[in-house]
Structure 1
């Protein structure tokens, strides 16, 4: 069988002509990454043996071999990051594989205008992410101590028979829980409103659970922003000022970047199909 084509991402051909591609190892761990010019757009790819990387094999690896998945996902991320540091780069999602160069050429050609516009946008901007974590126990205690209505109810409960106290305490716990959720949402949305006006585009994403973050704190906000390069310093300073104003240990704010623009290329989100899931 002929080789498959693993697509890491796309760069402007004119940039590739000015700066040669670094020597990077391919997805299979033995081949090398190479460039494939398609007019004004150059694809960064590597060849994969079709016998070892067909759709059925990859699907089995994704579902049953966690070590393989972790190693390959790490390779993909590290390669994308290295390419992003060299070029104006449109990253492709993990396991974007084409059966042959003809299919890849057709996809690029049919999206040429969209890709060219994306290069112009990404050349002048950077992707930054914002994640907020909460020490839920400390926030819960803070709510109990600072809310006058809860304090009032706690005092009233002490005057009730012990049997009634149990049920009234449950009501207070429920009220605290609602306020806890509201406060977590309010905190994230407040900072988001401050920084989104600096960005040209943004997306609010699903929070990760503790198994994914490996942290004791709960993630309560997760978003990404496309920020013009001349406004990045302002973007960071807004977050630093906001963090300083909190002056407590309930919240932890993480702003990181610049990252490959995974979230702000329509092509990387929709047009390029993952061979692993679309054989």
Structure 2
């Protein structure tokens, strides 16, 4: 059936003059290589079309977790190594083309957009920030210092014992609501301040505890495209927040630099 092309990423052809390091391909049997398409160069490897048909890929991805983890790790590590050498538009895991012509046509159709993207990401780094919070600790502070809750407590204290029982249940729900509002307000304020150091900053969906494996809730998940000259200032700000807010139950996790997955598309 011939070969498919597995696409890792796209780089400016002028950077392709720097030779590609010896990196094993998706199956570990050969090496990845370059295909120049005008001003853009694709970094690919060959895959046997019979072993990687659409049906077989779906079966593997849905039912073989060990294979999926191994191959996803290979893709991530390969793109990460390439990002250390080139200005790269990274492709999603398992981006396949039937042949070289179909890949070249796709690149040519998107040439203008890709060249603009190279201009955006060159000299910049993608960093991720996750903010965690100890709800138990913060809830205590909210319950003691929130004006809305203080007013509700005062209102309840004026009621009869019977009515107080039911109103205290409402108070618990109010505290939960104010807790979430406080977490979002604080996180958004931090995000906007950090965004001032970045070219772009986007908010992502927070992960559940099942995914993070942590006891603290993830309150915020954001990603930034930061000029290399401002990365240290960004990290210093994160460390300052960590120091100032640790006793209040807040934790910060900045990771990077990553290939610019969130600020590129193809």
Per-residue CA deviation, residues 187-211 of structure 1 (Å, 9 max, x unaligned), is: 1101111011221122111111112
Asked if 1:6 corresponds to 2:44, the answer is no
Consecutive unaligned residues of structure 2, counting only runs of 5 or more, are none
Following superposition, the deviation at residue 234 of structure 1 comes to 2.3
Consecutive unaligned residues of structure 1, counting only runs of 5 or more, are 268-279
Is 233-242 or 40-49 further displaced after alignment?
233-242
Is 242-251 or 223-232 further displaced after alignment?
242-251
Distance in structure 1 (CA, Å) of the matches to 2:145 and 2:166: 22
Distance in structure 2 (CA, Å) of the matches to 1:225 and 1:143: 30
Distance in structure 1 (CA, Å) of the matches to 2:137 and 2:2: 59
The residue correspondences of 1:65-104 to structure 2 (distance < 5 A) are 65-104=64-103
Distance in structure 1 (CA, Å) of the matches to 2:206 and 2:184: 12
The residue correspondences of 1:27-176 to structure 2 (distance < 5 A) are 27-147=26-146, 150-151=149-150, 153-154=152-153, 164-176=163-175
The CA RMSD over aligned residues, in Å, is 2.0
Following superposition, the deviation at residue 224 of structure 1 comes to 0.9
Following superposition, the deviation at residue 101 of structure 1 comes to 0.7
Aligned partner of residue 42 in structure 2, secondary structure: strand
Distance in structure 2 (CA, Å) of the matches to 1:150 and 1:70: 47
Partner of 1:197: 196
Following superposition, the deviation at residue 159 of structure 1 comes to 7.9
Is 147-156 or 177-186 further displaced after alignment?
147-156
Following superposition, the deviation at residue 148 of structure 1 comes to 5.2
Distance in structure 2 (CA, Å) of the matches to 1:178 and 1:237: 32
Is 101-110 or 19-28 further displaced after alignment?
19-28
Partner of 1:228: 227
Following superposition, the deviation at residue 116 of structure 1 comes to 1.6
Following superposition, the deviation at residue 114 of structure 1 comes to 1.5
Following superposition, the deviation at residue 120 of structure 1 comes to 2.1
Any conservation in 1 of the 2:195–2:224 contact (CA below 8 Å)? yes
How many residue pairs are counted as aligned between the two chains? 266
Partner of 2:21: 22
Distance in structure 2 (CA, Å) of the matches to 1:210 and 1:238: 26
Any conservation in 2 of the 1:7–1:97 contact (CA below 8 Å)? yes
Is 143-152 or 258-267 further displaced after alignment?
143-152
TM-score of the superposed pair, with normalisation by structure 1: 0.88
Per-residue CA deviation, residues 202-255 of structure 1 (Å, 9 max, x unaligned), is: 211111111221211111111111112222222222323333332424111112
